[in-house]
A and B are shown apart, each in its own frame.
Chain A
Amino acid sequence: MSLFQRHRNILDFALSSLVRRWKKNLALLLVYTFLVFVLASVVFFTGAIKREARIVLSGAPEVVVQKLLAGRHDLIPAGYAEALKKIVGVSAVKGRLWGYYYEPATGANYTLVAGGGSQQRRGTIAIGQGVARTLQAARGDLIPLRGTDGTYVSFEVDDIFSAASELVSSDLIRISDQDLRSLFGIPDGYYTDLTLKVRNPREVFVVADKIRRVLPDTRPVLRDEILRTYDAIFDWRSGLLLVIFTGAGAAFIIFAWDKATSLSLEERHEIGILKAVGWETSEVIAMKSYEGIIISLVSFFTGTLLAYAHVFFSPALLFEPVLKGWSVLYPHFQLVPHLTVYHVGALFFLTVVPYTVATVIPSWSAATIDPDAIMRL
């Protein structure tokens, strides 16, 4: 009998053996598939959002300079811009005006930003989709905003940011520089913070060091740090993801350990009979390996495909309640699928390999015992 034919027969026997204990194996399959599904969902979600953050925030300011007062973020005088312009390597300095606005009627927090490159007319605002949803506002509507002096000023909505940009603009209200100053009571000659352009990107760290020396009461925040912030937020090691991983990982280890340390009496008898009728130890181990491979492959395929559909075709139901948090306003966004061979390979080696190995070890120890001794158990 050829090697191929022999292994085909062993595979047939392994499948029949799994079908014979279908209730136990189905339960195993469901738990295993759920574990793979959770792990794959986390891997796909974090991979996609980290990639999107990297692409979208590549246009963020190279350096943001904040003034600190008693350890807190304070308004920065425009005069600081002059000192920063003198630093070798700095090509441009701009003032940023922005702030947070709490809307008591809805309980939502908005982010107000001043015009930027496009000129926002006085008395008008552009709002994000999230703001439009919470206020039920449309183009042409008037929205009253409460100033620091307690009076309400109405602004006409002249634009609504596109739904496609919701990941960055959901809670934004774009307003003119003068309106933002009068609403928040920011005096002329002050900004929320300053942004810098550096001629040679490789000099950013040197420029940041010079900023700390020239203006010791400021803190430079580099674009690289901003990007790393998002890597850290959605890193495998962080926060809730760690909790999910620890829970799933611990469950899986217990599961695999249980499998590795115990073969049921029925399974031991089966091995004994197989050995008694002439099966070799290597064939018994191959049969048990096939059982492990079949269970893990089915779980891997089903769990991974379900996770892909969960993250990229549905609104990621598992993560949505977490991302919503306590906030009133939360963005609606659909992540762009990001799938690499590395992701799938990592999932495969994290799930399929340990389980298969765990099933082979007890089979090997049982297969090497005398068949007569096993059958007498």
Chain B
Amino acid sequence: MPPRKSNIFVAYVVLNLVVFSLVFVHAHRENESARPALREKAILVERLQLTDLCLFTDARYARNPSMADLHSPFQDSPMSMEHFPSGTILFPPGHLRTP
């Protein structure tokens, strides 16, 4: 006699819940093992007094958004209003948006 469909579905849900628990365990273990690397980055930031992450290197205001001023997007050339797509993701820092 084939198993009931409801049993198969319940087993599927339980299996997924187990996988989800394993994902949480994986995230926790990865966090623990990444601590030395995170510490190394934080030390480098402190030693070199860095202010930003190196995510985009195509424009100055994208490389160091926290150090950018209001005229930043126009510094590279008069036509350079935006560096796409970095400029689309980057939101102006809060201190530039508040008067």
Interface residues of A (CB under 8 A from B): 8, 11-12, 15-16, 19, 52-53, 55-61, 64, 66, 68, 71-73, 94, 96, 100, 108-111, 113, 116-118, 128, 130, 161-162, 164-172, 174, 193, 195, 219, 221-222, 225-226, 228-230, 232-235, 238-241, 243, 294, 297-298, 301, 304-305, 308, 312, 322-323, 325-331, 336-339, 344
Interface residues of B (CB under 8 A from A): 4-6, 8-9, 12-13, 16, 19-20, 23-24, 26-27, 30-31, 34, 37-38, 40-60, 62-67, 69-71, 83-86, 88-95
9 more CB-based (< 8 A) A-B contacts, given A60-B45, A243-B88, A337-B26: A100-B63, A116-B48, A170-B57, A171-B54, A172-B48, A323-B55, A327-B56, A329-B57, A331-B54
Q: Which residues of B contact A96 (CB under 8 A)?
A: 49
Min CB distance B63 to A, Å, is 6
Across chains A and B, which 9 residue pairs bring their CB atoms closest together, nearest first? Answer: A59-B46, A327-B58, A337-B27, A15-B5, A164-B37, A229-B93, A339-B27, A301-B16, A336-B34
* 20 contacts across the A-B interface (CB closer than 8 A): A11-B5, A57-B52, A64-B51, A72-B69, A100-B60, A100-B63, A164-B40, A168-B54, A169-B54, A174-B48, A193-B67, A232-B92, A308-B23, A322-B85, A323-B56, A325-B62, A326-B86, A327-B56, A330-B57, A336-B34
Q: Which residues of B contact A221 (CB under 8 A)?
A: 51, 66-67, 95
A68→B93 contact, CB < 8 A: no
Which single residue of chain B is at the shortest CB-CB distance from A56? B41
Q: With contacts A109-B58, A225-B95 known, is A168 near B85, CB below 8 A?
A: no
B71→A326 contact, CB < 8 A: no
Q: Which residues of A contact B63 (CB under 8 A)?
A: 100, 109, 111, 171
Greatest chain B CB density within 10 A among A68, A109, A171, A344 is at A109
8 Å CB contact of B93 from A15, A109, A228, A328: A228
Q: Which residues of A contact B91 (CB under 8 A)?
A: 232-233, 235, 238-239
Q: With contacts A59-B45, A68-B69, A338-B27 known, is A168 near B53, CB below 8 A?
A: yes
Q: With contacts A58-B42, A60-B49, A164-B41 known, is A241 near B89, CB below 8 A?
A: yes
Q: Which residues of A contact B89 (CB under 8 A)?
A: 233-234, 238-241, 322-323
Q: Which residues of A contact B94 (CB under 8 A)?
A: 225, 228-229, 232
Which single residue of chain B is at the shortest CB-CB distance from A341? B24
A225→B34 contact, CB < 8 A: no
8 Å CB contact of B54 from A164, A170, A225, A338: A170
A226→B86 contact, CB < 8 A: no
